[in-house]
Amino acid sequence: MYSNRRGVIVEPTSNIQVSKNDLQEAFDDGRAKGSSFTISLSRKLNSGTAGERLGSAMGASIEFQDYRDYQPGDDIRRLDWSAYARSDKLTIRLYRDEIQPKADIISDTSSSMLSEPSKTLASLNLAGMLMEACFRSSISTAWWGFGSGFENIFRLSSRFPGCNMPSFRGGAGFASENPGLPHSISKKGIRFVISDFLWEAPAENVIRRFSRDASLLVLINILCEEELNPPLYGVSSLTDSESGGKLDLNIGENERRLYLAKLGKHIEMWKDGSVTHNCIFCQLNAENFLAGDFSPLIRSGILE
């Protein structure tokens, strides 16, 4: 892949095909891998409704944790009458084991993620892996795709409800300056974003929008080996994976060196933005991940 690092990704012209069956197999394999892991991020979260994993089961711990609005059928013995006197609003006391953590997995389904089959399959494999690890950690999880707008692949659930695989087509991810997050996305939970992050929009602007109302944002950058260590193509016909535009270039050592320098600068921009907004940034080599190298996720404190 070659890019001017303004979100325009160009690649040697090819006819890359990834079938629905390939996507399903990658996702199912990821779920099988995830059954050996749990999410270790909960200890990084703030307490209370921020979504910290405070207990593995519902219960009646004596440690008060937070409030929520009264709902019909709630035990009236949990009503906080002093709060009602102050606000004229019925509220229920919640205790330590009753805070249910939530997570949203957001997969980049723009055409940039189709530039190499390994990157496409790794993104689905990772989504399945994170999902299963969340369920094993008693974290209710939803799955979203975004390319030309957001797609709710499945709604918040404490177990896998079954779903169709997302379509990777069109759109430029979060390259737009003003894409809003879905209203139904979880508040005060963990938010995983899986992408190559080769977008035009400034990293800090995107991170700020993704992290809004989340307790913790985790950015997982997937790049294929060709993007991380491109060969010398020589004279090549290139295609912009988003617009379809064509470009003929002689890609030699100087061009490769320039590309790697710009890629490094681009990734540093995302890392710096993550530090500024107290997020986690983790980079995966797609081929290594598919071969079973999960060490970046473990070192980043995402899985254990």
Phi-psi region of 292 (alpha: psi -120 to 50; beta: other; left: phi over 0): left
Predicted TM-score (pTM) of the model is: 0.76
The Cα 149–Cα 155 span in angstroms is 16
Q: What residues does each domain of the chain span?
A: 2-44+100-299, 58-98
pLDDT tens, N- to C-terminus, the chain (304 residues): 333 333 333 443 344 578 889 999 999 999 999 999 999 875 555 433 333 333 333 344 445 556 677 777 677 777 888 877 888 888 877 654 445 689 999 999 988 888 889 999 999 999 999 999 999 998 999 999 988 788 899 999 999 989 999 988 766 656 555 567 888 898 889 999 999 998 877 898 889 989 988 999 999 999 999 999 888 765 555 565 556 666 666 677 888 888 899 999 999 999 999 999 999 999 999 999 999 999 999 999 999 9
Tokens, residue 230: 């491109």
pLDDT of 172: 60
CATH topology for the 2-44+100-299 domain: Rossmann fold (3.40.50)
Strand extents, DSSP E, the chain:
2-3, 9-12, 64-69, 91-95, 102-108, 140-147, 149-157, 190-195, 216-223, 234-240, 246-251, 280-285
The Cα 247–Cα 48 span in angstroms is 53
**Residue located via tokens 């530090």:** 275
The alpha carbon torsion through 221, 222, 226, 229 (nearest 10 deg) reads 40
pLDDT of 267: 96
Instruction: Decide: helix, strand or coil at residue 159.
Output: coil
pLDDT of 264: 94
The Cα 32–Cα 198 span in angstroms is 29
pLDDT of 235: 53
pLDDT of 14: 40
Residue 104's alpha-carbon distances to 181, 189, 190, in angstroms, are 12, 8, 6
Pairing type for strands 190-195 and 102-108 reads: parallel
